[in-house]
């Protein structure tokens, strides 16, 4: 579900839970997928709470808990890497192992070492190891890095931890350009065929793995990592989907919770369609903030001073419609042109960080006035983690695989999508139609879901800090409010601002509160606002 996790750069790692398909802006959704039936947007939130696991370690898992990492130098100076094993199937450990990639940057001092601090940038599908080496291990506050070994583990199925594989680069190029606002039966059929083709490819190339990449299993893997590091309790900072992973850990192992920060929080009790609509509305809120900023600057292609956000949205929607029928040149070496799908992805990608708004304004101006789509294509490629040679990271493949296990589908058929479009368009006149269709992908997934909407209470855990940003496009603020309320020891920290997540994004108030919690163990007062 993305997807930028600091620094202020479109190259920063994704941090949202991306439940939808990778077609166009679909990867930006938090709509879960499955082969099961639909879940109405009016369905009540999950009434069942996630149950904690027994405190005693099962004997069949003892060898895994007895591991110690064999650290070696890797890639980036100052970082060490190791490989740990986890059971592919926790219910049947004898069926085989999965390898987990772990990286570490040791505490720099001064001061007494406090243990390990695990970080996760979200996704699902974002590489935590890449995030650690590119940012967290060098960019987290010095006071935190001085006292903690900074640690990351790529979740199962992600990046270095036995990645899920689906389409190759050429087929991914075609897939990401598929029209997600079909105008007739033929285009609807093409969209369905694309979704089925993606799912079938994942099923063929990663058949065994697809059944065992759920968030619950990834959380159990984190407990193995905690034990291997020699820590009695888990200290953790997770962003967006990383909050769902961290909250799931707390629900399973409340007695092993140390200091947990859940930034850009998700509400695990919501069904898929409700989550999709909430996030669609979040992108609309973010776009309106961008539009106000854009029309106040010279050269805004969406309108001049005094143009309303509503009119700016209509102007953008009209531009998307033109691209739907007539894509424009994007200067791409592989011959790709900028159509509606890639343009929409490029725009939404820039919604995660207000620092990207000037870049988006320039890219839109070039595309709308000069018919030069290179800027928007670059934004889209950054979101999809496509490199200059046409290779894609496995983020989107892993994303679909995880989400298709975690929740029943938002929609089960094109007919259901058509009925649901008005609600999505009400949430966002600009993005609603495409994001509704994007919710369909896992209707064709080869593996059924193992999860369901569940409250997470984590009764008996130490205080858990939940962070919400009031105008967060990807994880709406009310999700943070809901999670903080569900957690028995939750405390809500609010950032009144724009962009996705809050820690390390320039708010001294937020950073000071979280740093004090991590270093001194003193959580901010519940309800604190910055």
Q: What single-letter DSSP state applies at residue 412?
A: S
The rounded distance, in Å, linking the Cα atoms of 106 and 137 is 9
Which residue intervals of 296-407 are DSSP H helices?
Answer: 309-325, 340-349, 357-370, 374-384, 395-406
490: CB partners within 8 A, 6+ apart: 463, 464, 466, 483, 484, 526
Tell me which H or E stretch contains 485. Answer: helix 477-486
- Indicate if the alpha-carbon torsion angle 229, 234, 236, 240 is positive or negative: positive
Burial class (CB in 10 A: 0-12, 13-18, 19+), 19: buried
Catalytic residue among 127, 240, 428, 439: 240
The rounded distance, in Å, linking the Cα atoms of 503 and 481 is 17
Active site residue 240: yes
Q: How far is CA 451 from the centre of its chain?
A: 18
Map residue 256 onto helix, strand or coil.
helix
The rounded distance, in Å, linking the Cα atoms of 435 and 443 is 15
Catalytic residue among 154, 179, 500, 511: 500
**Tokens read off for 46:** 């999950």
Which residue from 176, 124, 119 is spatially nearest to 1, judged by alpha carbons? 124
The rounded distance, in Å, linking the Cα atoms of 216 and 226 is 15
Tell me which H or E stretch contains 116. Answer: strand 115-120
What are the DSSP calls for 3-59, one per residue?
A: --BSSSSTTSBP-SB--S-SSGGGGG------SS----TTPPPP-SBPPPPPSSPPG
157: CB partners within 8 A, 6+ apart: 125, 163, 164, 206, 209, 213, 398, 401, 402
The rounded distance, in Å, linking the Cα atoms of 470 and 473 is 9
Burial class (CB in 10 A: 0-12, 13-18, 19+), 18: buried
The rounded distance, in Å, linking the Cα atoms of 332 and 169 is 14
**Tokens read off for 80:** 């060490």
Look at strands 72-73 and 80-87 and give their pairing.
antiparallel
Catalytic residue among 149, 472, 498, 511: 472
Q: Is 385 left (phi over 0), alpha (psi -120 to 50) or beta?
A: left
Q: How far is CA 483 from the centre of its chain?
A: 17
Please list the helix, strand and coil fractions of the chain in percent, rounded to the nearest 5, in that order: 45, 15, 40
**Tokens read off for 97:** 């192992």
Would you name the residues annotated as active-site residues?
240, 472, 500
């Amino acid at each position: 579900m993305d997807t930028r996790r600091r620094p202020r750069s479109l190259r920063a790692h994704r941090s949202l839970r991306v439940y939808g398909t990778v077609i166009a802006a679909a990867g930006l959704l938090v709509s879960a997928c499955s082969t099961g039936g639909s879940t109405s947007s009016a369905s009540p939130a999950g009434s069942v709470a996630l149950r904690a696991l027994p405190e005693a370690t099962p004997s069949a898992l003892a060898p895994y808990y007895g591991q110690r990492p064999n650290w070696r130098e890797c890639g980036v100076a100052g970082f060490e890497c190791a490989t740990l094993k986890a059971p592919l199937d926790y219910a049947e450990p004898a069926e085989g192992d999965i390898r987990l990639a772990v990286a570490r940057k040791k505490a720099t001092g001064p001061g007494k070492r406090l243990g390990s601090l695990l970080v996760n940038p979200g996704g699902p599908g974002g590489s935590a190891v890449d995030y650690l080496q590119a940012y967290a291990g060098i960019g987290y506050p010095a006071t935190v890095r001085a006292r903690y070994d900074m640690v990351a583990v790529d979740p199962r199925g992600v990046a270095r931890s036995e990645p899920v594989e689906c389409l190759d680069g050429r087929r991914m190029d075609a897939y990401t350009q598929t029209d997600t606002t079909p105008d007739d039966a033929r285009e609807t059929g093409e969209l369905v065929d694309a979704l089925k083709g993606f799912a079938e490819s994942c099923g063929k190339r990663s058949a065994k793995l697809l059944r065992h990449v759920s968030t619950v299993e990834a959380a159990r893997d984190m407990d193995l990592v905690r034990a291997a590091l020699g820590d009695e309790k888990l200290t953790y900072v997770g962003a967006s989907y990383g909050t769902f992973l961290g909250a799931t850990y707390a629900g399973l192992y409340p007695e092993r919770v140390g200091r947990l920060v859940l930034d850009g929080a998700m509400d695990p009790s919501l069904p898929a369609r409700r989550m999709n609509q909430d996030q669609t509305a979040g992108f609309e809120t973010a776009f309106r903030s961008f539009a106000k900023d854009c029309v106040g600057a010279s050269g805004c292609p969406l309108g001049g001073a005094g143009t309303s956000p509503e009119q700016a949205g209509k102007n953008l929607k009209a531009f998307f419609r033109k691209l739907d029928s007539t894509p424009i040149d994007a200067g791409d070496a592989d011959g790709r042109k900028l159509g509606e799908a890639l343009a929409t992805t490029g725009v939404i990608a820039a919604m995660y960080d207000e620092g990207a708004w000037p870049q988006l304004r320039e890219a839109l101006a070039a595309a709308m006035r000069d018919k030069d789509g290179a800027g928007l294509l670059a934004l889209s490629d950054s979101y999809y983690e496509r490199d200059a040679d046409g290779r894609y990271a496995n983020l989107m493949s892993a994303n679909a695989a995880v989400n298709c296990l975690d929740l029943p589908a938002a929609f089960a058929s094109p007919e259901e999508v058509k009925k649901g479009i008005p609600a999505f368009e009400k949430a966002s006149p600009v993005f609603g139609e495409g994001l509704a269709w994007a919710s369909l992908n896992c209707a064709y997934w080869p593996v059924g879901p193992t999860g369901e909407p569940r409250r997470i209470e984590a009764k008996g855990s130490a205080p858990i800090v939940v962070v919400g940003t009031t105008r967060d496009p990807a994880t709406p603020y009310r999700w943070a409010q809901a999670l903080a309320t569900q957690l028995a020891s939750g405390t809500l920290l609010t950032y009144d601002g724009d962009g996705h997540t809050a820690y390390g994004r320039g708010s001294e108030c937020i950073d000071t509160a979280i740093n004090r919690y991590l270093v001194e163990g003193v959580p901010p007062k519940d309800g604190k606002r910055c």
